[in-house]
């Protein structure tokens, strides 16, 4: 009896302190297409990305006169809404075309993770239902043929949205050549290509003959400013969180910090989400200080997540470096390599050559785990000076994580 009361009390307080009401709205991945569009609609209704949408409209307007719009290039850093805005726009365009009885279809090729040319074409073919999913073994030509075959009888507008084009590894040239020169010549469909990229110069390295065929209109997405971010965040708060548990100023702070450092909407929402999670776990309101802590946490998680998804060899390299550099102040490649080999021995991993090890070190340097500066000691040789400038807690955490990964999955 008494226990019942107690439990009820506890549940009551928990409910009262609940912050996250619907966590799906804190992570777009968990929303389905329609829900995403709904959220977008609300955001765009607040005049966010208004100019971009206007530009897009005017770019595609010729379609309604039976004209053929030229290709389009979108530029903007990650998280500035290129993908989201374009998808939203295409969706609208699609339904508008439906109303006006204009034949139109669009395809979104998502390259957020880099893929070789082959896979991209395969994806395209799959969307068109022109081929099954291959991993390897079929020639590019054959794939292209299948796609052409499928498109031969299509008459209407055909929009291909290539998201993050510069991520086509190996042979971006032949991929573009196919899209720009070969595909338009098959059948009578009106092909419109939309490219997005966060590199301004992605066109620089492509074959000039193809480049000249890419008569592109360009559209720039500016990073979100604090004002826009506030609108976006407040919408998320409305959808996902218990507004009573969020102190005044938190929203503004997150928006300000985010716009100052990156202007990335996804990261801003992530920060909000992280703050809420911490607050809920500790049963307190979301305060300004909590936002700072969430910021730290995100930073740490980044490293941990990255090392977790890295190959064993890279993990071993990092472990050896962390372990060694806590003992001595300056660490050189040779010593690091020796330490790495002993560690490999311990976890039954076949050690790499020094040459390959050196590449691992460079990679870790690139990712920001360590710093490796080339330094010459005169007749005592030239080597990299390796140092770590992560906070101790982070490197300790990394060590733990790596050990766990290795001990649980011994190789060889």
Partner DNA sequence: TGTCCACAGGAAATACGGGGGT
Partner DNA sequence: ACCCCCGTATTTCCTGTGGACA
Q: Quickly count: other Cβ atoms within 10 Å of residue 206's Cβ.
A: 18
Task: Please pick, from the candidates 176, 250, 257, 361, the single residue that binds DNA as defined by CB under 7 A.
Answer: 361
Half-sphere exposure of 227 (CA within 13 A, CB side): 5
Stretch that binds DNA, among 1-9, 103-111, 136-144, 272-280 (CB under 7 A): 136-144
- Residue 412 as a binder of DNA (CB under 7 A): the answer is no
Q: Residue 230: which H helix or E strand, with range?
A: helix 226-240
Task: Please pick, from the candidates 99, 137, 208, 309, the single residue that binds DNA as defined by CB under 7 A.
Answer: 137
- Residue 173 as a binder of DNA (CB under 7 A): the answer is no
CB-CB contact of 200 with 165 (8 Å):
no
Stretch that binds DNA, among 49-57, 129-137, 285-293, 297-305 (CB under 7 A): 129-137
Considering the complex, state which of residue 106 and residue 340 has its C-beta at the smaller distance from DNA.
Answer: 340
For every residue of 172-220, DSSP letters joined together read: HHHHHHIIIIIGGGSTT-EEEEEEEES-TTTTTTS-HHHHHH--EEEEE
Task: Please pick, from the candidates 33, 101, 215, 355, the single residue that binds DNA as defined by CB under 7 A.
Answer: 355
Range 375-404, binding DNA (CB under 7 A): 376-384
Instruction: Quote the CA–CA distance of 131 and 120 in Å, as a whole number.
Output: 13
Considering the complex, state which of residue 231 and residue 341 has its C-beta at the smaller distance from DNA.
Answer: 341
- Residue 332 as a binder of DNA (CB under 7 A): the answer is yes
Stretch that binds DNA, among 102-110, 122-130, 195-203, 370-378 (CB under 7 A): 370-378
- Residue 333 as a binder of DNA (CB under 7 A): the answer is yes
Range 292-331, binding DNA (CB under 7 A): 311, 313
Stretch that binds DNA, among 104-112, 229-237, 238-246, 354-362 (CB under 7 A): 354-362
Q: Is 366 helix (H, G, I), strand (E, B) or coil?
A: helix
Task: Please pick, from the candidates 37, 134, 220, 367, the single residue that binds DNA as defined by CB under 7 A.
Answer: 134
Considering the complex, state which of residue 88 and residue 337 has its C-beta at the smaller distance from DNA.
Answer: 337
Instruction: Quote the CA–CA distance of 319 and 322 in Å, as a whole number.
Output: 5
For every residue of 13-77, DSSP letters joined together read: HHHHH--BS-GGGG-GGGS-HHHHHHHHHHHHHTTTTHHHHHHHHHHHGGGGGT----EEEEE--
Instruction: Quote the CA–CA distance of 336 and 362 in Å, as a whole number.
Output: 13
**Among candidates 183, 204, 198, 227, which has minimal Cα distance to 48?**
227
Task: Please pick, from the candidates 7, 45, 243, 356, the single residue that binds DNA as defined by CB under 7 A.
Answer: 356
Considering the complex, state which of residue 2 and residue 380 has its C-beta at the smaller distance from DNA.
Answer: 380
Q: Residue 253: which H helix or E strand, with range?
A: helix 250-261
Contact residues toward DNA (CB under 7 A) are 116, 118, 134-139, 169-170, 311, 313, 332-335, 350, 352-356, 358, 361-362, 374, 376-384
């Amino acid at each position: 009896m008494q226990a019942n009361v107690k439990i009820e009390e506890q549940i009551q307080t928990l409910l009262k302190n609940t912050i996250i009401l619907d966590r799906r709205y804190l992570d777009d991945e968990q929303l389905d297409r329609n829900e995403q569009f709904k959220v977008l609609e609300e955001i765009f209704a607040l005049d966010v990305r208004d100019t971009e949408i206007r530009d897009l409209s005017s770019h595609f307007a010729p379609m309604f006169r039976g004209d053929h719009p030229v290709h389009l290039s979108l530029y903007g850093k990650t998280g500035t809404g290129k993908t989201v805005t374009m998808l939203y726009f295409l969706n609208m365009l699609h339904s508008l075309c439906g109303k006006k009885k204009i034949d139109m279809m669009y395809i979104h090729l998502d390259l957020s993770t880099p893929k070789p040319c082959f896979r991209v074409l395969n994806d395209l073919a799959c969307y068109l239902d022109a081929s099954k999913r291959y991993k390897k073994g079929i020639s590019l030509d054959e794939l292209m043929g299948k796609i052409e075959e499928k498109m031969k009888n299509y008459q209407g507008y055909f929009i291909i949205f290539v998201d993050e084009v510069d991520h086509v590894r190996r042979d971006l040239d032949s991929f573009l050549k196919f899209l720009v020169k070969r595909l338009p010549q098959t059948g009578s469909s009106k092909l419109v290509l939309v490219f997005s990229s966060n590199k301004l110069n992605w066109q620089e390295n492509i074959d000039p003959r193809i480049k000249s065929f890419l008569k592109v209109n360009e559209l720039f997405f500016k990073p979100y400013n604090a004002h826009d971010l506030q609108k976006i965040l407040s919408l998320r708060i409305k959808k996902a969180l218990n507004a009573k548990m969020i102190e005044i100023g938190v929203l503004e702070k997150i928006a300000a910090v985010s716009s100052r450092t990156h202007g990335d909407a996804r990261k801003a929402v992530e920060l909000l989400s992280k703050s809420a999670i911490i607050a809920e776990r500790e049963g307190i309101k979301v305060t300004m200080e909590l936002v700072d802590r969430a910021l730290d946490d995100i930073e740490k998680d980044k490293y941990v997540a990255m090392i977790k998804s890295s190959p064993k060899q890279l993990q071993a390299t990092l472990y050896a470096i962390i372990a060694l550099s806590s003992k001595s102040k300056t660490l050189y490649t040779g010593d690091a390599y020796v330490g790495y080999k002993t560690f490999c021995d311990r976890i039954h991993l076949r050690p790499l050559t020094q040459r390959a090890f050196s590449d691992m070190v460079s990679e870790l340097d690139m990712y920001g785990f360590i710093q490796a500066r080339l330094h010459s000691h005169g007749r005592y040789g030239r080597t990299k000076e390796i140092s770590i400038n992560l906070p101790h807690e982070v490197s300790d955490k990394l060590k733990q994580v790596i050990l766990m990964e290795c001990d649980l999955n011994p190789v060889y």
